[in-house]
Amino acid sequence: MNTSNVNYQVESQNFIGYTAFPDKENFPAVIVAHAWGGRDEFADNIANKLAKLGYLGFALDMYGDGVTGTSVEENSARMQPLLDNRSQLTSRVLGAYETVSKISGVNTSKIAICGYCFGGLVALDLARSGVNLCGSASFHGFLHDSDLPKTKISAKILAMHGMQDPMVGNDQLESFYGEMTEKNVDWQLHIYGQAMHSFTNPSANNPDFGTVYSEEADRRSWELLKDFLREVF
């Protein structure tokens, strides 16, 4: 498996993605959208795991220049402007999608995305853009609809949610149900009854903040993703 950083431009700003190549030619690609802290080791490791499964793994950069946060305040300050401007958020994830489409060896008819926390919303917004995408998977991501003009979602959707997640309430779930049904999307929602936010991250251990790792939910959701990718590709 070969890995490298990739510089790419979106609206004259530089972004630094991470690419993990599988040991074969002509491969599907899976974009990895990071959590609110920026493109970090966790996201890069997911790209590596995907490459071992035979996919190109591409960990995108939503903040520019590969910057990462070191505190709740820093992370929130970087994420919130994109939550408030979904058009800019969509532009940045589309830039990553276009970059992946140009990587030698990628089968451009077989591209999917998965995302974690904030990245779960990013993954869903790429599907909402109407781009030619096979699948979009959200791990403990924000689920509320976008305020952008409605477009047809052609990608299959997989959302994995912790029932005890204080950051994604019933309002978001109901918004998600309604949107998926209205747009006649091929969608799934899997709920882990005892899981909180960030249930896939072994470093998450702050029950007061609502972020706690769950070995069971992590394992089960990863198996779901593998099955989902086999289906959409």
Judged against a pLDDT cut of 90, whether residue 147 lies above it is answered with no
Instruction: Tell me the residue range of the domain where 15 lies.
Output: 2-232
Bridging pattern class, strands 56-59 and 2-10: unpaired
Domain containing residue 62: CATH number: 3.40.50.1820
Residue 146's pLDDT band, with cuts at 50, 70 and 90, is confident
> Is residue 232 a contact partner of residue 135, using CB atoms and an 8 Å limit?
yes
How large is the average pLDDT for residues 186-213?
96
Helix axis angle, 86-101 relative to 118-128, nearest 10°? Answer: 80
Q: What pLDDT is stored for residue 148 in this prediction?
A: 82
Number of independent structural domains in the chain:
1
Confidence grade of residue 149 (pLDDT, cut at 50, 70, 90): confident
- 219: Cβ contacts below 8 Å, ≥ 6 apart: none
Q: Give the pLDDT band (50/70/90) at residue 103.
A: very high
pTM of the model: 0.97
Is it the case that residue 135 has pLDDT exceeding 90? yes
Check residue 117 and give left, alpha or beta (phi > 0: left; psi -120 to 50: alpha).
left
84 - beta bridge partners?
none
pLDDT at residue number 35: 98
Helix, strand or coil, per DSSP, at residue 233: coil
Give the pLDDT confidence score for residue 133 in this predicted structure: 98
* Six token digits for residue 54: 């035979």
Closest CA to 221 of 183, 203, 185, 195: 195
DSSP letters for 37-68: T-S-HHHHHHHHHHHHTTSEEEE--SSSTT--
The structure tokens listed for 111 are 């591209």
